[in-house]
Structure 1
């Protein structure tokens, strides 16, 4: 049986899947790791830990699947930076996307270039956690580390390097760094200078769905893979998930509830439209050449629900128990409103300051009410991201994915907050699936994969609960929320041509 391996280097774990030529997941594995926070607001991880976790996850999935893959595709957390020296060794720990140390650097970028110029070129805002700002911080505070770096990579590019020995970038990740233009996928010299890096420190750009290299003998000995197995360039986790979620269907958007929360809508936009939309959304490159997607982000979705259960409530009940209990409480949480932006905001405005808050607490509220309010806040923000995105055809349904899709409270919250049906994918982890599909395409062995048939349920919005969400949205401003669009406004369907 022919199988294809997808590897997704996430924020909290690496996940692997084996996908057969008929589109069946024959095996899966997952190895977890943590985030290092050596100072308040910092977020780092050791690239060597990523590699050891990947080795363990690959070995486990090969044992479970009982077959060696014919191709390998990669997916990974976006926006982070890995610095390699001339020997190919990490210079320092990787700085990853939840990092919030670069407030001063953000102001420097705004003074030197300006928000409008950066977003119109890059499709991304000047925001902490993005690679360009993290590099500027390093140039000021750790110049020796940056000078020692012969290559600057994104996280999944490091895993590809360990597998193949080949250094490369690809558009879905590179164009989300603030170093490359979202229009032509070329480096922006002015922004490279601000980041303190040279063009020579950036590896060559490869097409996402191309073969970037082959598994080396050394990597094969470590992982159990076959030497010479083709490895695709791969892509950022959102672009890879979009393939598995069927976002080539014009009426479909996607929301993922994982550590962060993301809302993704495929676009067919001209240059002026990208510049306009990037004021409130991220505009990122898709896996297909020239494709673009709009993305709204909640930095703390699963991170917020885990924080509530494990840190604030000190394990009085598990996160899962609280999410299940919250499903029995109506939207609005009996007068309690939460702002879930514990790590700041990325969309619709950029504000790196912690925004978390509860408003309306009363003696009648219990832990499940707190969880319900957090779910409401995340759901409203992501629903508004979808409703505020221009598309050629109005969005008619939202496909829900990520670890949060295991819980019914998220199904109903997204449907009711958006007023749109929610399609429940039969697959939970779409980024490694998309990576496997890209690996198969790169190797010339496409898989028979029909995302439209991989559905386990559908949740229609409830008019009473939808009305409750409109009331929650009306009071959310008092808790610091930043609405993009009124929930009474129908989805935007106009597109501005270039």
Structure 2
């Protein structure tokens, strides 16, 4: 009875699975995300803790046996500053935040971003810890002075529940960890001007680390003091594990707030002269890594389109079904985030556009053009990450059969979709079971899935024309973007 908890950006979920990997109890509740003027995006740690308390207590009440462990995963990146007791010294800064846009552009111009990439394999973006901490060091130094640790969402929750200051190796990967050694690259920290803040970085916990609920954490959740707690990996690698990514070359598409494209590799080597973008993530298994390209163009773009057009999300599928590949000549670039794009290229000034519009263009073509453009972005990411095996998918976006079909056709490969939506929590539970010495059959857990096959004529159109048009539009737009 391991409770898996996935602390997402906008939603916290708790799930319990049976021995075959089928969920038998689940609960979810929304988190508050504060979008402030100037591209600032923040969250309140106390409110996030309230969501964890709510879902864990609700799921525990549904069980007829005692809870044996708690397995945590959740959003990565951003900065969650805390004091030695786990109290927030300021609101958490989300990975969606854009306050460091100009700083990141400066680092790209003066070579700092490339130097860090050469050392760690991770491309920095405005919402990563390095850019945010450097911004705070210049503009809010007193906040850093008050902090004992500059961490992430999952380890912030772990500190509140167990009293431990730690960080999972996956969270620590971006941007300062050398993937080959799993240790911080001190020169990368210095390159970002953060050497004097080095004490804020918790050392990554060893593989299979297990923590324990302390007295206050137990009281908060209504669970026994001393209950085992595992902390990570964060949601991207947790989803890969939960979906069934096992062999080098296999990948996973997460169509959520982030459009995360990841590919498993057993080599810590990367193209040090390539475009400094994406992430090189350490996994719980030593000697295995994920080349991750988490683009900023996920389901938030669809929410924007729904609001603009005055429609509900449920109407997206019928609109896609009523339109043809190519969207009647309407094309889009999907870069709607205030902080630009972070994979497979980094540009804080990246912005969206529609072209090919006429008086005859309708809502269906606008929606299809946007959905196709996000699928093209996924193909761009997977080409950079090196996908050549089985592709899995999860996230809210793949609940739409029509959009999932577009992804399969644009990517030109079948997509395996786990039947249970709690893929991140599933991965966290599998990691916890391994750490506790009671592993489940991961292959059996991954067997509950369906496959979306490619429609050959659609795939041929996207290969021959659609993706080429997207690449040409992107190349032209990158020369025009300005902060």
Confirm or deny a common fold (TM above 0.5): yes
Listed as ranges, the matches of 1:84-99 within 5 Å are 84-99=82-97
How many residues were matched structurally? 472
Number of the residue aligned with 2:53 = 55
Deviation at 1:246, TM superposition (A): 1.5
Q: Are the counterparts in 1 of residues 330 and 357 from structure 2 also a CA contact under 8 Å?
A: yes
| Distance in 1, Cα, partners of 2:179 & 2:272 | 10
Secondary structure of the 2:385 match is coil
- 1:337 has 2:331 as partner: yes
Q: Cα–Cα, structure 1 residues 324 and 59, in superposed 2: closer, same or farther, change >3 Å?
A: farther
Deviation at 1:173, TM superposition (A): 0.5
* Pair 1:389–1:38, CA change in 2 (3 A): closer
Post-superposition offset of 1:274: 5.0
Which structure 2 residues correspond to residues 217-296 of structure 1 after superposition, within 5 A? Answer: 217-250=215-248, 252-271=250-269, 273-276=270-273, 279-296=276-293
Residue equivalent to 2:468: 474
Residues 1:363 and 2:359 aligned together: yes
TM-score by length of 1: 0.89
Partner of 2:480: none
Could you tell me how far apart the structure 2 residues matched to 1:152 and 1:388 are? Answer: 30
User: Closer, same or farther in 2 for the Cα pair 1:350/1:26, shift >3 Å?
Assistant: same
RMSD: 2.1
Q: How does 1:42-441 map to 2 (within 5 A)?
A: 42-110=40-108, 114-176=112-174, 178-193=175-190, 194=192, 196=194, 198-211=197-210, 213-250=211-248, 252-271=250-269, 273-276=270-273, 279-310=276-307, 312-313=308-309, 316-343=310-337, 344-390=340-386, 394-395=388-389, 397-441=390-434
Q: CA deviation at 1:385?
A: 2.1
Cα separation, partners in 2 of 1:128 and 1:367, compared to 1, 3 Å: same
Q: 1:327 to 1:295 in 2, by over 3 A?
A: farther
Q: Secondary structure at the match of 2:37?
A: coil
Give the Cα separation in 2 of the matches to 1:305 and 1:418.
Answer: 19
Q: Is the 8 A contact 1:206 1:233 kept in 2?
A: no
Alpha-carbon shift at residue 247 of structure 1 (Å): 1.1
Partner of residue 481, structure 2: none
| Cα distance in 2 between the residues matched to 1:347 and 1:370 | 24
Distance apart, 1:478 and its partner CA: 5.4
CA displacement, residues 304-361 of structure 1 (integer Å, 9 cap, x when unaligned): 0011102x22xx2202212332133222111111111112221222101141111111
Structure 1 residues 457 and 24, CA gap change in structure 2 (3 angstroms): closer
Q: Distance in 2 between matches of 1:17 and 1:94?
A: 25
SS in 1 for 2:35: coil
In 1, the alpha carbon distance for the partners of 2:84 and 2:294 equals 35
Query: Helix, strand or coil: the match of 2:26?
Result: strand
Given that 1:284 and 1:295 are in contact with CA atoms closer than 8 Å, whether structure 2 keeps it comes out as yes
Using structure 2 for the length normalisation, give the TM-score. Answer: 0.92
Cα gap change, 1:6/1:206 in structure 2, threshold over 3 Å: closer, same or farther? same
- Aligned partner of 1:493 in structure 2 is none
Which position in structure 2 is the counterpart of 1:490? none
| Cα separation, partners in 2 of 1:370 and 1:284, compared to 1, 3 Å | same
SS of structure 1 residue aligned to 2:344: coil
Q: Provide Cα deviations, 1:441-469, integer angstroms capped at 9, x if missing partner.
A: 22222123325753442222112111221
Change beyond 3 A, Cα 1:74–1:445: same
Unaligned runs of 5+ in 1: 484-498
> Is the Cα–Cα contact under 8 Å of residues 414 and 452 in structure 2 kept in the other structure?
yes
Instruction: Say whether the 8 Å CA contact 1:21–1:446 is kept in structure 2.
Output: no
Say which SS state the counterpart of residue 219 (structure 1) adopts: helix
User: 3-state SS of the aligned residue for 1:235?
Assistant: coil
CA change 1:40–1:171 in 2 (3 A) is same
Q: Is the 8 A contact 2:296 2:343 kept in 1?
A: no
Contact 1:123 1:278 in 2 (8 A): no
Query: Is contact 1:298-1:341 (8 Å) kept?
Result: no
Supply the distance in 2 between the matched residues of 1:112 and 1:147 (Cα, whole angstroms).
28
Residues in 2 aligned to 1:58 and 1:266: alpha-carbon distance in whole angstroms: 31
The alignment partner of 1:175 has SS state of helix
C-alpha distance 482-299 of structure 1, shift in aligned 2 (>3 A)? farther
Higher alpha-carbon deviation: 17-26 or 459-468: 17-26
Assess, with a 3 A threshold, how the Cα gap between structure 1 residues 301 and 451 changes in structure 2: closer, same or farther. Answer: farther
Assess if the C-alpha contact under 8 Å between 1:124 and 1:278 holds in 2.
Answer: no
Taking the aligned partners of 2:460 and 2:358, their CA distance within structure 1 comes to 23
User: Are residues 110 and 405 of structure 1, via their aligned partners in 2, closer, same or farther at CA, if it must alter by over 3 Å?
Assistant: closer
CA contact (8 A) 1:75 1:234 kept: yes
